[in-house]
Structure 1
Amino acid sequence: MKTLNHYVAIYKEQLSKGDILIAYNELVKFVMKLRTNCIKNLSDEYVFTGILHGYMDYTYFYYSNDFLKSKKLKLGLVLNHLEMRFEIWLLGNTIKIQKSYWELLRDSKWNKGRNEMPTYAVLEAIIEDTPDFDNLPVLAEKIEKKLLDVSTEIVETVSELG
């Protein structure tokens, strides 16, 4: 079994090369810009929170509207660093709420093929599977449009549940 010192040495070596630091910082900046664009363009429909950083695995921000809040739900735009893709997550304010909505949405198109609830969310909708980071303005526009379209669809689906 490898020790923590072993992993830290590898981590330090990789950071010293600089590439990981540059990539991570640029990815976080891009998600911050996405959030700013969403606030400018979608604030009539949603309220957006600040950027949250996972353990180098996810960078995300939450957003919600009055309807979702009344159901104790929220959405998240997530950059999944491990899969290097953008996703929208539907989340409950508590685990109990998440589990109840999981039961209601387990057969939805977003949960097809899943036997278990996702680790952190009720559902995870992939909105950009192969992002082109060499053209950030086009990528941002694409993500913002998909965010609005998929979020609207998720809200409508939840609304139909009653």
Structure 2
Amino acid sequence: MIPFHEAMNEYRSQMEHGVIKQAYRGLMEYIRDLRVHFETTVPGSFVTGSIYPGYMDMTYFSFTPESLHRQKLKIAIVFLHETCRFEVWLAGMNKRIQAEYWNRLKESNWSAYPLAASLQGVDAITTHVLSENPDFRDLPLLTRHIEQGVMQFTADIEDFLSIEQA
């Protein structure tokens, strides 16, 4: 890791080129539009009022169907900056809920999606890659692809929870 002052010199240099600023602005606009898409087109869901922009590590918003909200769970649609990919995460509304459901999935030998290796410093119970290499040339197609992946992930979680509670 380079010293902070050297990192800032590189940051300044990259910002002077303007491409990073343009890409970041475009990404934030797309994620805002994606959030609005889920809010307006997916019935019976609850979407948070804001997007978490992160520290160029991750940017996300939560999309929580009522069935999961009642169980204090949420679905997060996440963009990971380092790998430039979209993922969907199941998370708890707090650390206690997170631990409870992580343990339930682990004890059930859940295998549909990978569980977080541990809960230390992790915000997800289980995750799924939605788009390994998103094509930002066709945003409507990317949005449909993300929506389909999120809806399948959500349905799989809901199915598991309904079977477990039966």
TM-score, normalized by length of structure 1? 0.89
Please report how far the alpha carbon of residue 160 of structure 1 lies from its aligned counterpart in structure 2 after TM superposition.
Answer: 2.5
Alpha carbons 2:98, 2:125 under 8 Å: kept:
yes
Partner Cα distance (1:32, 1:9) in 2: 30
Which of 141, 157, 162 is residue 159 of structure 1 equivalent to? 162
Alpha carbons 1:51, 1:61 under 8 Å: kept:
yes
Aligned partner of 1:95 in structure 2 is: 95
Please report how far the alpha carbon of residue 3 of structure 1 lies from its aligned counterpart in structure 2 after TM superposition.
Answer: 2.6
Alignment of 1:123 onto 2:122: no
- Give CA deviations for 1:69-96 in whole Å, capped at 9, x if unaligned: 2211111111111121111111111112
Please report how far the alpha carbon of residue 23 of structure 1 lies from its aligned counterpart in structure 2 after TM superposition.
Answer: 0.9
Please report how far the alpha carbon of residue 63 of structure 1 lies from its aligned counterpart in structure 2 after TM superposition.
Answer: 1.6
Partner Cα distance (2:25, 2:130) in 1: 22
- Tell me the amino acid that sits aligned with residue 155 of structure 1: E
Alpha carbons 2:44, 2:66 under 8 Å: kept:
no
Identity among equivalent positions (%) equals 29
Structure 2 portions without partners, runs of 5+: none
Aligned partner of 2:79 in structure 1 is: 79
Q: How many residues align?
A: 160
Aligned partner of 1:110 in structure 2 is: 113
Q: CA RMSD in A?
A: 1.8
Partner Cα distance (2:13, 2:62) in 1: 34
Alignment of 1:14 onto 2:7: no
Aligned partner of 1:34 in structure 2 is: 34
Aligned partner of 1:68 in structure 2 is: 68
Please report how far the alpha carbon of residue 41 of structure 1 lies from its aligned counterpart in structure 2 after TM superposition.
Answer: 0.8
Partner Cα distance (1:82, 1:160) in 2: 37
Please report how far the alpha carbon of residue 158 of structure 1 lies from its aligned counterpart in structure 2 after TM superposition.
Answer: 2.6
Alignment of 1:3 onto 2:3: yes
Please report how far the alpha carbon of residue 8 of structure 1 lies from its aligned counterpart in structure 2 after TM superposition.
Answer: 1.3
- Give CA deviations for 1:6-44 in whole Å, capped at 9, x if unaligned: 2111111111111111111111111111111111210x2
Alpha carbons 1:105, 1:111 under 8 Å: kept:
no
Runs (4+) of structure 1 exceeding 6 A deviation are: none
Alpha carbons 2:72, 2:97 under 8 Å: kept:
yes
